[in-house]
Amino acid sequence: MKAYDYHKPHTVKEAIDIMGGLENAKYIAGGTDVMVLLRQGKINPANLVSLRNVAEISRIDTQNGIRIGAGVTHTQIANNEFIREHYSALADGAGVVGSKQIRNVATIGGNICNAAPSADTACPLLVLDAEAVIAGKSGERQVPVDDFIVGPSQVALEKGELVTGFVIPAFGDRTGSAYIKHARRLAMDLPILGIAVRATVKIGGAQAACRDAFKLTDVSDIVKRLEAEGLVLEDVRVAMSVVAPRPVRARKAEEAAKGKTISEKVLEELGEIAASESKPRDSFRGEAWYRRDMVKVLTKRALLKSIERMTGASSMVAPSRLW
Amino acid sequence: MENLLHVGKNVPRTAEIDKVTGHAVYIDEYKRPGMLYGKILYSQYAHARIKSINTEKAKKLPGVRAVITGYDIPDVRVGFLGDQTVLKRDIVRQFRDEVAAVAAITPEIAEDALKLIEVEYEPLPAIFDPIEAMKPDAALVHETDARGRPLRSNILPLPWKFSAGDVDKAREESTYVVKHDVTTPWINQCCMGTSGCVAEFDSNNNLTYCAQTNVIFGAKQRIATYLRNIGLKGKKIRVLNPVVGGSFGTKLDTDIYEFICIQLALKTRKPVKIRFTREEEFAALPPRQASRFTIEQGCDKEGKLTFRKVDAILDNGAYTSWGATTPSVMMLPISSMYRVPNVSFQATCVYTNNIYSQAMRGYGNPQAAFAVETSMDLLAEKAGIDPAEFRLINRNHPGDVTPMGLKITTCPLEECINTVKEKIKWDEKRGKKNGRGVGMASLIHVAGGARVYLSDGTGIRIKVNEDGEVDVLSGSTDQGQGSPTVIAQIIAEATGFRPEDVNIVFGDTALGLWDAGTHASRHTFVAGNAAVRAGELIKRQILELAVQHIPKLVKRSLKQQQKKNPDFVPPELDYTLIDSPDKLELKDRMIYPREAPDHPYFKTEVGKILTSGLHVGVGESKAVAAEVFWDPPTQMLNAEMKGNYSCTYAFGTAGVEVEVDKQTGEVKILKLVSAHDVGRAINPTLVKGQIYGAAYIGIGYGLTERVQVVDGKVVNANFRDYKILTANDNIPVEAVIIEDPDPAGPYGAKGIGEPGLVPTAPAIANAIYDAVGVWIKDLPITPEKVLAALKAQGQ
Ligand SMILES: Cc1cc2nc3c(=O)[nH]c(=O)nc-3n(C[C@H](O)[C@H](O)[C@H](O)COP(=O)(O)OP(=O)(O)OC[C@H]3O[C@@H](n4cnc5c(N)ncnc54)[C@H](O)[C@@H]3O)c2cc1C
């Protein structure tokens, strides 16, 4: 590990200015990716520009949807009541990053800018139609997260630019979302696979009946009851991590879901299509066939979990479930 | 054995407060003036010829004090079979082969210097599959043996063959027979503190060596041999332990990096420290031996076992450390778990270009127990008998002599099995095949020493200072398992002092008497026995002093009172109450007559006697000290692999309830009950700590852990990819202590260091079968394997 200079700006403007005047420099937020890469010798910056003291990127603002500062930690997101209720998938994702110690310092901005194929907040942001707010010398611009993440460790940032935060639209009360991380242990683990789903639905019958469906123990009974109540999938987003060089949306599955009344068959199809869109590889961390299979299983589970949350059923004392 | 004051109590581990407050001196903190830091360059290939090594650039880097290769040091062989050299100079046979080493003024500079060393290799074909390597035409990993004689095969000349009774005849007579294969992976010991040492020579080339070894005298011996072989004959060697952050088997052998450190210290004439990074700990330290077994078992109509036949193949890797000797302990469960009259066992160790193995907690027992205990369930099912019942039918009994010659003394196996049955609600939960299931497995392990060397002995020295502080010089070591507390409790009990009076110095060959090592779950048993004996000598000495000095002190005090108060009338005292040591007792620092424990004049604080005995003025003063070297009446295995190599054996049973997610193949442990025969728990909290920790490692063995080796290379050399369980995976483990004091144990205690993890993995496999009807016989039981098996069954 080589020596480097450490810079501590207090505003976004100051940060951009400092960055503009430096060669071989890197932003550092929580440092939980940067320090690992440094120690492994994979990066060798002469300067680190810390974003820790930049208060303006560490806020959560809940007017017209939500704006989450890039410097907000995973712990802050996972514990935020508003996010837990309206953007559950993101709270799920932030809540399972690393360990408590990591979540206390690691930021959402760092997670997205590091652009790992396994980043736990990426799929949630994708299904929540989030946009990254980018600040640079020439001002501010906004890019959908889907376009912002380019590839492994690659994001659409020009030299000197930084992310100030993420904006997510409001979805109304017919929407629920969920993220399921499939890993080998409950802390300090990269997912074998991560699936996020957002579902905006229309209910032909009674919302209360839909909620009551989740009191049933058997999953196919739940789906049948929802079907009987005419629950229509108006708008669905599915995103998958680790099954491609970067977290990706399953657009064909999303398209296929549109306007369909929920049924076991529809769920099955959705899972199949999402799986067909995934391109997992065999690695020592997991086998491709298994990952593809899990896309199928977890897409269904994440969708049902989203609907459960939308109906308000998740606050009931429900039978313990697999999701 | 009633009225024990300290044994059996949950005495807190006060000696460990330094660890949690950061004051303890681990190898990281151990520093010597002028100390340099050593780093090692490893091979880039699994098998290659070294064409050239150029160290010129590295030597020129400012701060570098030495760069050595195999050409700079004597070409001396080391290791259990002498099949490797310290630095390899012609051929590398595995990725972790040590090719060069650097000493520099900082670890960073040493690391940078490694990058400047240029090695040119010519890759050679490598062999990674032991089955392939066993074939007659397979390429040889070693062309010659240690003495230069040509080798014709990759099979090691180690005669692991055991036979008792007539297996073939028994098979024919069996009503039910089952046969299956199991495989188990390499497992990293995952010590919290990584490996390291500091070597330092004085001007006379005498060596002070600070090392984490748990076999200080064995290490001293190996190093002496090495020094002699490199031309330093008759040099004095002192081996010291720093505070050690876990060993779990890693500190049993003297590793190559240790010899390298010694070479760097010799070369630079400075103290040199080598400390492993976590990546090195995974890639360059020998893990638990990987194995494959074929096991066949039979029983009669009533379910009585008739025979057991086991064949094992061990991937030895490129060199030989203790991993190749694990069959000596695999033999325990194979020959002696449950009553089985006819047994045959054969283990073949095969050289490959993989990493090599050594000891890990359980020493082969977990591998063999996985084979035996899954086979027990298969056979029970075939015979139509409940697996718990099947185990009870075949359980060991006190007084049994097993086919291997083990003499079973105490054996509460029945109680262990029944406790697990009850706590896991066996009868209610078993046999549902509804995604939830229960399984169990048992174990036998050495628990009363283990004669693996010609001596199974240990020494302890005790001296008592005049203020009543008890100094203990132990020849053993502490790796963090709590021995300072347990041995202090035993000594306090035996001497009549309190645990907080006892100060123990471990791990210094200059101070302690010889010890075979803190391994094989033997420390509490063997050192405890020595401690009881030494403690009794101390007590006797003090009571002898008391016979002399209590009357003296009492009379003096009476006289003084008379002087102060002329009216004082001295009482008539019966001095015959205290005229012999046998009439006195010493407990909790108080000496008193047995006949009159609360005697107002004779009851004396021990410190007064010690002071009085030492400062006599005129005459002969006395200091209290004693030492005992105790070698248990154990036997070494004979040529047929038979012998009673421990004084007593520990039994135990683990029961597991699992839930299997049939769509993902994930296994969740709902409950784990681990009931262990410990003879007597000297400190129940510490015993439970051993059981919890071992159970967690056992669960990792069952479900998540493996060192992944691809074409000879460790690919998951970090804690991100090596899936040891975390505190978040809070698995409900219930540790149950079964006490049946063993006559040979110190206050009845047996060893419990290793047993906890032995039955865990097979219990999990058996529970998964009960839950969803698939057998996974290949550890670890990953979701992929479970799901693939479910699919194969059409579920
Ligand atoms: C032990 C451990 C476990 C982990 N487990 C997980 C896990 O389970 N799931 C997971 O997804 N990740 C995990 N990580 C990775 C890491 O913690 C996350 O990616 C984290 O969110 C990174 O945030 P940070 O603030 O620490 O980023 P940093 O390390 O500070 O920065 C990461 C990258 O983002 C850039 N950057 C940071 N902020 C900005 C900004 N505002 N604008 C522009 N560029 C910026 C940096 O220059 C750097 O390239 C783990 C890491 C460790 C060490």
CATH of the domain at B758: 3.30.365.10
Tell whether B610 and B640 lie within a shared domain: no
Give the binding-site residues of ligand 1, using a 6 Å CB cut-off.
A 26-34, 36, 51, 70, 97-98, 102, 106-107, 109-111, 113-114, 118-120, 162-163, 188, 190
Over residues A145-161, the mean pLDDT reads 96
Q: Cβ distance A185 to B728 under 8 Å?
A: yes
What's the pLDDT at A320?
55
Give the tokens for residue A159: 């030299």
Tell whether B365 and B503 lie within a shared domain: no
Rounded Cα distance between B287 and B189, Å, is 6
Parent domain of B688: 291-394+412-452+636-792
Torsion over CA: B108, B111, B112, B113 (sign): positive
Residue B158 belongs to some domain of the structure: no
Give the tokens for residue B409: 């003394």
Rounded Cα distance between B436 and B656, Å, is 11
Q: Is the pLDDT of residue A319 over 60?
A: no
Each residue of B479-534: pLDDT tens digit?
Answer: 999 999 999 999 999 999 999 999 999 999 999 999 999 999 999 999 999 999 99
Tell whether B304 and B258 lie within a shared domain: no
B792, burial (CB in 10 Å: exposed 0-12, middle 13-18, buried 19+)? exposed
* CA A29 to centroid of ligand 1, rounded, Å: 8
Which residues in chain A are closer than 8 Å to B711, comparing Cβ atoms?
none
**DSSP three-state, residue B447:** coil
B66/chain A closest Cα distance in angstroms: 21
Final residue before a domain boundary, out of B615, B630, B645 = B630
Rounded Cα distance between B736 and B676, Å, is 6
Rounded Cα distance between B87 and B70, Å, is 5
Q: What is the Cβ-side half-sphere exposure of residue A71, based on CA atoms within 13 angstroms?
A: 18
Residue B212 belongs to some domain of the structure: yes
Interface of A with B in 12-71 (CB under 8 A): none
Q: Cβ distance B525 to B750 under 8 Å?
A: yes
* Ligand 1 atom nearest to CA at A57: 41
What's the pLDDT at A315?
63
Tell whether B618 and B586 lie within a shared domain: yes
Q: Which residues of chain B have pLDDT under 70?
A: 1-2
Phi, psi of B228 (to 5 degrees): -60, -45
Query: With left for phi above 0 and alpha for psi between -120 and 50, is residue B699 left, alpha or beta?
Result: alpha
Q: Is the pLDDT of residue A316 over 80?
A: no
Tell whether B776 and B667 lie within a shared domain: yes
Peptide bond into B780 cis (omega under 30): yes
Q: Identify from B106, B186, B280, B663 which residue to disrupt to test chain A contact, counting A C-beta atoms within 10 A and taking the largest count.
A: B663
Q: What is the Cβ-side half-sphere exposure of residue B502, based on CA atoms within 13 angstroms?
A: 32
CB atoms within 10 A of CB A304: 25
Tell whether B642 and B621 lie within a shared domain: no
Q: Which one, of B357, B84, B104, B95, lies nearest residue B226 by Cα?
A: B84
Residue B577 belongs to some domain of the structure: yes
Tell whether B618 and B668 lie within a shared domain: no
Question: What crossing angle do the helices spanning B760-772 and B365-383 adopt, rounded to 10°?
Answer: 30
Contact B710 A297 (CB under 8 A): no
Phi, psi of B590 (to 5 degrees): -110, 135
Residue B479 belongs to some domain of the structure: yes
Tell whether B615 and B668 lie within a shared domain: no
R_g over Cα of chain A: 20
Which residue lies with its CA nearest to atom 21 of ligand 1? Answer: A111
CB atoms within 10 A of CB A219: 17
Tell whether B221 and B343 lie within a shared domain: no
Q: What's the pTM? A: 0.97
Superfamily per CATH, domain A175-311? CO dehydrogenase flavoprotein, C-terminal domain (3.30.390.50)
Nearest to A187 among B663, B704, B728 (CB): B728
Give the tokens for residue B429: 């939960």
Q: Cβ distance A199 to A307 under 8 Å?
A: yes
Q: Cβ distance B694 to B763 under 8 Å?
A: no
Rounded Cα distance between B322 and A216, Å, is 56
Tell whether B624 and B646 lie within a shared domain: no
Contact of A271 with chain B, judged by CB distance below 8 Å, is answered with no
User: What is the DSSP secondary-structure string of A67-84?
Assistant: EEETT-BHHHHHH-HHHH
Question: What crossing angle do the helices spanning A219-228 and A264-277 adopt, rounded to 10°?
Answer: 110
Q: Which residues are within 8 A (CB) of A166 and not within 5 positions of it... i.e. 6 or more apart?
A: A67, A68, A70, A108, A112, A125, A130, A131, A132, A133, A145
Pairing mode of beta strands B470-474, B458-464: antiparallel
Q: Which residue has the tokens 């005292």?
A: B573
Tell whether B214 and B339 lie within a shared domain: no
Final residue before a domain boundary, out of B597, B630, B663 = B630
Q: Which residue has the tokens 């049948």?
A: A224
**DSSP three-state, residue B557:** helix
Pairing mode of beta strands B470-474, B502-505: parallel
Phi, psi of A255 (to 5 degrees): -65, -45
Q: Which residue has the tokens 């209910």?
A: A203
Enumerate the domain spans of chain A: 5-50, 175-311
Average pLDDT in chain A: 94
A97, burial (CB in 10 Å: exposed 0-12, middle 13-18, buried 19+)? buried
Q: Which one, of B315, B391, B308, B392, lies nearest residue B345 by Cα?
A: B308
What's the pLDDT at A323?
54
CATH node for A5-50: 3.30.43.10
Q: Cβ distance A114 to A28 under 8 Å?
A: no
Final residue before a domain boundary, out of B630, B658, B688 = B630
Q: Which residues are within 8 A (CB) of A298 and not within 5 positions of it... i.e. 6 or more apart?
A: A180, A182, A193, A195, B664
CB atoms within 10 A of CB B56: 10
Give the tokens for residue B693: 């920790």
Q: Cβ distance B662 to B795 under 8 Å?
A: yes
Give the tokens for residue A250: 């399953």
Pairing mode of beta strands B77-78, A175-182: unpaired
A232/chain B closest Cα distance in angstroms: 25
Residue B586 belongs to some domain of the structure: yes
User: What is the DSSP secondary-structure string of B763-783?
Assistant: HHHHHHHHHHS----BSS--H
What's the one-letter identity of residue B714?
Answer: V
What's the pLDDT at B1?
54
Residue B8 belongs to some domain of the structure: no
Rounded Cα distance between B26 and B19, Å, is 9
Q: Cβ distance B655 to B698 under 8 Å?
A: no
What's the one-letter identity of residue B381?
Answer: E
**What is the biggest distance separating any 2 CA atoms in chain A, rounded to whole angstroms?**
66
CA–CA distance from B221 to each of B228, B244, B386 (Å)? Answer: 10, 21, 51
Q: How many helices (H) and strands (E) does chain A have?
A: 14, 15
Residue B164 belongs to some domain of the structure: no
Rounded Cα distance between B714 and B735, Å, is 34
CA B637 to chain centre: 19
Look up the CATH number of the domain holding residue B207: 3.90.1170.50
DSSP code of residue B257? H
Q: What is the ipTM metric for this complex?
A: 0.95
Rounded Cα distance between A123 and A170, Å, is 18
B653/chain A closest Cα distance in angstroms: 25
Question: What crossing angle do the helices spanning A288-311 and A264-277 adopt, rounded to 10°?
Answer: 130
Tell whether B445 and B492 lie within a shared domain: no
Buried b (16+ CB within 10 A) or exposed e, B640-677: ebbebbbbbbbbbbbbbbbbbbbbbbbbebbbbbbbbb
Q: Which one, of B469, B461, B676, B487, lies nearest residue B6 by Cα?
A: B487
Which residues of B sit within 8 Å Cβ distance of A? 108, 661, 663-665, 704, 708, 710, 715-716, 719-721, 723, 725-729, 782-784, 787
Nearest to A293 among B715, B726, B787 (CB): B787
Q: What share of chain A is helix, strand, coil (3-state, %, to 5)?
A: 40, 25, 35
Q: How many residues are listed for chain A in this entry?
A: 323
Domain count along chain B: 3
Interface of A with B in 102-131 (CB under 8 A): none
A158/chain B closest Cα distance in angstroms: 31
Contact A185 B723 (CB under 8 A): yes
A186, burial (CB in 10 Å: exposed 0-12, middle 13-18, buried 19+)? middle
